[in-house]
Chain A
Amino acid sequence: MSDAKFFQRGKIQELRLELNSDKKDRNYTRKKQTLKKIVANMTMGNDMSSLHPDVIACMSIPVLEVKKMVYLFLINYAKAKPEMAYEAIQTFRRDVEDPNPLIRALAIRTMGYIHVDKVTSCLIQPLRHCMRDQDPYVRKTAAVCVAKLFMQDRHLVENAGFIDLLREMLVDSNPSVVANAVAALTEISERSDHIQLQLNMSIASKLVTALNECSEWGQTYILESLMFVVPQEPGDAEMLAERIAPRLQHANSAVVLTAVKVIVYLMNYMSREEDIHSMCKKLSPPLVTLLSSGPEVQYVGLRNILLVIQKHPEILKNDIKIFFCKYNDPIYVKMAKLEIMFRLASEHNVEQVLSELKEYATEVDVDFVRKAVRSIGRLAVKIESTAQRCVEALLELIQTKVNYVVQESIVVIKDIFRKYPNQYESIIGVLCENLDNLDEPEAKAAMIWIIGQYADRIENSDELLDDFLYTFLEETVEVQLALLTATVKLFIKRPTAGQDLVPKVLKWATEEVDNPDLRDRGYIYWRLLSTDVAAAKAVVLSEKPHISTETDNMDPVLLEELLLHIASLSAIYHKAPTTFIPHCKPRFLIPSPALRRQNYNAGRTLQHQDSYSSLHNSAQYQQSQSNNMRSQRFDGDDSGNGGLDEFVSSPKQPQHQRLSYHEQSFEQVAEASIGNQEYYEQKINAENPYRTDTAAVGGSQANKGGGVDLMSFDL
């Protein structure tokens, strides 16, 4: 019989009669059918709560299936109708002492879901018993129940000795119990202000032993808990990593990625380069294997790979081919692959990478094509030997006349000009053929920069600029700034050609436009030009600082933090968890004698989430940084980082973010960040709750001074 017909809106009264029918009901078949109807109705959102006295009466029926349905009913309605839960308390009391372990476990589990004070207080005593039950199924259910209880009432769990009981369970003879106890402790530690999980080597070693015998999910819990081991000697880190390594070959990708995370973490505490090297070698194949799974797993894998290879570039350096995109990969997978391809590109494989990128530039998805074109330009900047071929590829793409391809190419060609001055200017003619099609601010600004920069080589540069100036007041600030600077450059290089344009632009910039950046820059140029043309020349035409793809690298502090969060949402977004998840505990590398030096510093700087998040608010931080540098140069050139900050932001970040910084004045940004830095250093020295943890590790004393009760387990 199918459950579908239960969906017809059951008449409550009818169901009640059925449930209370006196007819002979051998083995409660009729009752079961009726309860099924009630549960089905309930899950469809029909209100069945008025049936509660009749349903609860069924709790005493010794049939597991019946009990399960009654419990489903209770969990669903108890929150809204606490009195319903009161009626069930007596039966719960009986059930937690039932000879059948399944029923004991079920009762404990259900009570944990009913967030009603009276039920909770009835739960405490039996829960304690169940944690020491002779049956492992009951014990493992009880362990999870403690975590549940913690969500409801932290103080209760902390004060009623449950933490100690959980701690005892870590050495349970049954691996599933160990895994659940570890999961509960980790969960509590992540949520609690007072409790911080820390495991010493001896307990870690026992956990790893249990690892081999428990279910796949249990393995992820145990692996995750190993993030709370602080190896005191490099040998400990190596031994642990070695023992975890077989998990890299598990069929469950969550187990694999958590194992990767723990090993990458432990590598911070290893001393010998050859150990690190051999671990890196072991990490490549499982990461490759993730890419043969479904698209979601691939996506998570790719985002994490991007982090891991920034820290350990030797991982996957010979596997670039697996990141080549298939035309029917989902867009988000393609985008993530492209970023990794760019990072893995080197002298050895650049030929293949370039030919792939050219292929992608002919696909249909606009975002992907743009990113491919942009990557060609960046490849030229990254690897000098290939610049010539990249420029040729870009020229070919410009010939296609596909509008967005042309615009994207021009944006990156500007970067190539800056990186390799006096090498590729011969192509300017081709670029100038496409002026009419430019309608995106970034492409326009790039083209205008090129015209300004080469005003003396482009014969009709004054006419070209004049054309652009025609719509000056309607342009975005990005384009206006570019026009202003380009016009001044033209005037300095070819005074006669620029003399009509400059006054016009300066007047617009200082009088007609509201934007303070534009106005300030206009005034500066104006004064420079009117007081000392030689000085103006020195400033405006000064040597540009070199650009490189170094700016693509993620902020090392952020990278270190994210590496501790591999296999988490932060690692997908590449954002510190504290910036988007409320009440999240920041993680950092805890110092120990074994911690490698450079990490030690990075670790320390992570400790203060408040100052940290204000500084590192994702991509804006990078922008304000580059903005600072630019403000010191004072040549008003926007070409520096135009196209270079995209790879560090998350894949679908809207481009308009990049524009937002223009609204802040340079000085404000500079001040703000200096202020933060001071604040930030003071904070670190003032109250660092974790500073003394080295003392607490391995022992069981609590660091009360810092307000953190360190849970350390000693056996």
Chain B
Amino acid sequence: MADAAATAGAAGSGTRSGSKQSTNPADNYHLARRRTLQVVVSSLLTEAGFESAEKASVETLTEMLQSCFNVDTLPAYAKRSQRMVITAPPVTNQPVAPKALTAGQNRPHPPHIPSHFPEFPDPHTYIKTPTYREPVSDYQVLREKAASQRRDVERALTRFMAKTGETQSLFKDDVSTFPLIAARPFTIPYLTALLPSELEMQQMEETDSSEQDEQTDTENLPLHISPAEASDLWSLTPWPPSSLSPSDSCPCLLRILCSVLHCVTWHSRLPLIAATAWPPLGQREAH
């Protein structure tokens, strides 16, 4: 019962006078709130013309305030003209905010916000200052950059792959300069050979998006992406035994690669990758 009352009171008082103390630990909280309520009741009494009141009656009135209380009418009541402003609770060693930078006038509080509330942020914080990197407009540089980034990514990736797996070499005495990822037979070689790679399909989707017809072959191709697979990449384990999936060589890496290659452009395509880069999941044709 007391709890319920306390909650209601807290709600009531919170709306009226802020919830400064509501962050105190439980005991403190109750005490502080009680005290605040008493202050409120007292001020109401003062407003009503009383000069003094017995403690017991204040207690009773406080209890009443907690119990029956109409929230709806509060705002109007709060804005009444002859209201009495409760003084701020005493704050010990209030930190003085150093005025580092001031630009323009701070906005004053609207009338219903007590002045002891924190001030609005400095006006300059509201100013939008869009900043861009200097747009590179030179076509040649762009192409150059795209090409070399792409190449770097490819090389890094293939070297990484070569380092982590079996390799073949063109020179007997050197295996690291031109490492070739070892040839590995597929169980179903024609699938990898014939089905478009994911990168290609992605491109096809993009280039074809305007002229979508039901011929877009992408939709029916089974492509399975699961978060579980993605983790494989980083565990550096050998690729799972190939299955009937078209990308049976290295499913997850492929995807990462696709996205990396895709990123390397002068447009930022990040949102695209995050949201729509992957074709619909595994809509396998029923057969």
Tell whether A and B belong to one assembly.
no
